[in-house]
Every structure is written in C-alpha cells, then in structure tokens.
Structure 1
C-alpha cells in the first residue's frame, strides 16, 4: 500500500529562503527514499507504507533538531480521494451509495463541485488542452484564471484543481503564492 504524508514545520518564515527546519525535514524524507514535493506551506512525501512509517520519526526529529517548534502531520492512502470519487453513482441519482440517503447541505456541495468542474472545463476550452497536458507556464496561467473566476472559493477546490493539473496541492499553493506576490 502506498501512502503520502503531508507535514509542516513551524515557525513559518515569510518571504525568502525556506527555514532550516523545513529543509531538514524534506531532506530526511528524501534520504529515506520517499518521493517529495517541497512547497511554501509544507512538504508532501510519498512511498510504500513501511518506508513511510519508518521515516516519520526521522523526519520529525530532523525538523525539531533544526529549530522547529512544532511539526504537524497528516497521513493518507495515495489515491483515497480518487477511489471515493469513482464509486458508482448511476443508481443513486448521481450520488455515491454512501451519500445516497443524505440531503440538504450535501446537495449544495454537489452543486459547488459541478460549478468547479464547469470552471475547469471552461479554462480547458480556452487554453485548448486538458489542464494536465499543459506545460508549467500554462498550468500557472490556468491557476491564475481559475483564481480570478473564484474557483478557489469553493470547497475542496485546491485538491480538485491539483488532480486536473496532474500536480500536488502544494504545487497549486505555490502557483497561487507566486500570483499573490
């Protein structure tokens, strides 16, 4: 089973070079053989469950030894969100079996997800390609357009946009932060 761990170390620094404790945590993950994606808000590390489990205390220790005051961690199965999204929907009126009995606020979430899907489809048409097929500059431009159109005001939009782009959430946050500067 493949897992990914998303971790942040504090204190955060503003602009400029990343803090030593963040770099130490990223380096510890890489030295453990994990695939890493380093961003301004944290680091994402992916690997087989055993390697990831073994590396987590090493990563935390490296960050704390390098000056971090706190390390925050989330661990999840790789592709868990995609598996849920792939559940059958036809017999339940477009909802997953798990959600078929729910109403009210959940219907609003479905409508918002539809709105995000429409925004993404519009940007893909304008750019002449699926978001995942764009080069880096094209992906950054797509994120800018999506932000201008309010896509990131919608629930779970960063994850959905990251999936469409074929990048991590941290990469989307990097693109958003570059635009803000």
Structure 2
C-alpha cells in the first residue's frame, strides 16, 4: 500500500478485516470484487474479502483461540455451543460446512446434525407448549 499502515483509518478497520479473514491492499491493486474504502475523498485502501469456505476456516480458528485449545478437545456441551455459534454465523450454508465442522470438533457429521436438531427442537418446545395452552 502507498499509504502508511498506521493511518488512523487503517488502524480502525484492520481488526475488523482481520476478524473476517480479509486482506488489506493498495486500491490500485483492487479487483472488481474487492471493496475500496475512501477516507476524506481519497481512496485509501482496498479490502479483499475471503471466499466463504476460507471464512469458515477462519471462524473455526478464532473459536479455537477463544477456547484456548483445539475444538476437538472440548467437552460435549462446549461443542454444542460451538455448533450453535457456527449455525448463527451461517457456517452450514457453506458447501461441506457440516463435514468441515465435524472434522474440527472431532465428531461425526451425524453428531453435528444431532446438535443442530437438538437446538431446533428445544426452540420449538416453548412455541408448541404455548400453542397447546391457547387451544385448551
């Protein structure tokens, strides 16, 4: 990049770009799918966003850092929490998302589906109970 990396705007957006798994670059190197960011009317930097599959790997790595250990070493409840977080972030809309998550957690695809179904079943119980109460 031609601008110094310690520019206040770059300093402000870098943690967000890093968290997304993106890459900062000079705006002159931007490709059509990159996002060019402007500061006070000047193109200051471009952000190359990761592919969805790369984002899933990045999210899994961030979750490992958060837990301080490989996800496969977590207890069952913690793995269920991880699956809940990943579902909220859209991890299972990515092709082979379930397989990737299962591998990171050290469980089978069937187990990941069970965690997902368990959560959706628990969410539907209050709604079913409320519906039954109104019908009585």
Give the TM-score of the pair, scaled to structure 2: 0.50
Give the greater-gyration-radius structure (CA). Answer: 2
Corresponding residue for residue 166 of structure 1: 106
How far 1:162 sits from its partner (Å)? Answer: 0.3
Q: Distance in 1 between matches of 2:60 and 2:117?
A: 20
Name stretches of at least 5 consecutive residues in structure 1 with no aligned partner: 1-109
Give the TM-score of the pair, scaled to structure 1: 0.38
Q: Does 1:153 align with 2:93?
A: yes
Q: Tell which has more relative contact order, 1 or 2 (C-alpha 8 A, sep 6+).
A: 1
RMSD: 1.4
The list of structure 1 runs, each at least 4 consecutive aligned residues, that deviate by more than 6 angstroms after superposition, is none
Aligned to 2:62, which of 99, 106, 122?
122
How far 1:123 sits from its partner (Å)? Answer: 1.4
How far 1:155 sits from its partner (Å)? Answer: 0.9
How far 1:112 sits from its partner (Å)? Answer: 2.1
Higher helix share: 2
How far 1:175 sits from its partner (Å)? Answer: 0.3
SS class of match (1:143) = helix
Corresponding residue for residue 90 of structure 1: none
Higher strand share: 1
How far 1:179 sits from its partner (Å)? Answer: 0.9
CA deviations 1:98-132 (Å, max 9, x no partner) are xxxxxxxxxxxx92221110111111122222110
SS class of match (2:51) = helix
CA deviations 1:23-66 (Å, max 9, x no partner) are xxxxxxxxxxxxxxxxxxxxxxxxxxxxxxxxxxxxxxxxxxxx
State the aligned residue count.
72
Contact 1:143 1:176 in 2 (8 A): yes
Contact 1:151 1:157 in 2 (8 A): yes
How far 1:168 sits from its partner (Å)? Answer: 0.4
How far 1:148 sits from its partner (Å)? Answer: 1.1
Contact 1:123 1:145 in 2 (8 A): no
